[in-house]
Amino acid sequence: MSVAVVLKGYPRLSETFIAQEIQSLQKAGLELELISLRHPTDTAIHPVHREINKTARYLPEYLWQESKRVIRAWWRIRKSPHYSHARKVWLNDLRRDSTPNRVRRFGQSLVLANELSDGVTLIYAHFLHTPSSVARYAALLRNLPWSFSAHAKDIWTTPEWEKREKIKDCAWGVTCTETGSVHLKSLTDSPDKINLLYHGLDIRRFSEPSSFDEKRNDGTSPNKTLRLFSVGRAVPKKGFLILLEALAALPQEFYWHWQHVGGGSDLRKLQAHAADLKLKDKISWLGPRPQEEILSLYRQNDLFLLPSRITKDGDRDGLPNVLMEAASQKLAIISTALSGICEFIETDTHGLLVPPDDSSSLLGAIRKAANPDLRSAWAAAAFKRVHHEFSHHENILPLVKLIRQHQESTQ
């Protein structure tokens, strides 16, 4: 018996938490089939990707690109006794969301349903929006149970009617923050279907760093330049435009340098804005980097910054893995007081949290965090918490149990 794992894109540098989970499920002895809606765009991969011995199968990213494959799938699946019901569900969704994206998802589900091996007993989708749509339609076409893992954007930008119906149809779902869990449970008469499951951090991949003696920089002179660091895609919800405004307001006599790791649609916009603010010489744009390089950068810097925010369409972070990664390297953290972030960081204990979209408060937090002794105390507390409460090993066990219980019930 195997589990078909439906992914939006694979492999992706920005989704180490998914690769970490797949590797752990594989290590637990589960048979997996990896199905991706998109081909990879990153040129590098993380070490964890190399430990996954399954090759992903790619559905047609756009139906016209593989029209013969889609038509062949439809020709075969239309004869199924379950086709009529699945088509009815999809048409009902299409009436409320009459977009090309909705048509594409049904076409992809036809291909998935046609090409799934006979041994698949569960379809499991990462993200509650488009991957879950494909998983749901394919599951209806094949008369299989399906489940989902919900994270951040997919929870807060998916229409409520769609979330309600997906939860009603699924066997179970997991989500990675208490805030997300409470919200999803409020949408169903079967709240036991929703399980809180933090991603956690695979501590084995993040060995303990050296002491704080080398992190005494306080920005008071060029040879004590405060080394700032961020990892995150250049997209609105990460708040890097707000960070640039805060950095521009730092006094001339305060010495700092910021390194940014990540790609993203707004990267050129950020770079241009930094140039307009006369910050070009104080920033290093490093682009996407594999995990082993990022690990080294955590250790080289003094302060981790992630000013997450809520966008106009409701998109926001859940609990970004990079915060736990920074904590594992005893790197002090400044972030914002949003949902899942507050579940990991208590301000002035494990780091500093400021209101989102508030460059003045962010500026004050950076000035406060210039104190090496405060950074040391926060980092030590966050290091302890990630080890004791947010270990990936402990948090993956409930997911393995859910899948195995399902497999046992189908035997």
pLDDT at 158 over 70: yes
Class of residue 47 by CB neighbours under 10 A (exposed 0-12, middle 13-18, buried 19+): middle
pLDDT in tens, 264-323: 999 999 999 999 999 999 999 999 999 889 999 999 999 999 999 999 999 999 999 999
207-388 has the same fold as 2-200+391-410:
yes
Class of residue 319 by CB neighbours under 10 A (exposed 0-12, middle 13-18, buried 19+): buried
Single-letter code of the amino acid located at 385? R
pLDDT in tens, 104-120: 999 999 999 999 999 99
Predicted confidence band at 18 (pLDDT cuts at 50, 70, 90)? very high
pLDDT confidence of residue 214: 66
Provide the mean pLDDT of the chain: 95
C-beta of residue 283 within 8 angstroms of C-beta of residue 274 = yes
Q: Residue range 153-164: average pLDDT?
A: 97
Hey, where are the domains in the chain? 2-200+391-410, 207-388
pLDDT at 164 over 60: yes
Q: Residue range 183-192: average pLDDT?
A: 97
Q: What are 131's strand-pairing partners? A: none
pLDDT at 363 over 60: yes
Decide yes or no: CATH 3.40.50.2000 for domain 2-200+391-410: yes
Q: What is the CATH number of domain 207-388?
A: 3.40.50.2000
Predicted confidence band at 29 (pLDDT cuts at 50, 70, 90)? very high
Single-letter code of the amino acid located at 402? L
pLDDT at 410 over 80: no
pLDDT at 210 over 70: no
pLDDT confidence of residue 213: 52
pLDDT at 38 over 70: yes
The HSE-up count of residue 154 (CA atoms within 13 Å, CB side) is 21
pLDDT at 394 over 90: no
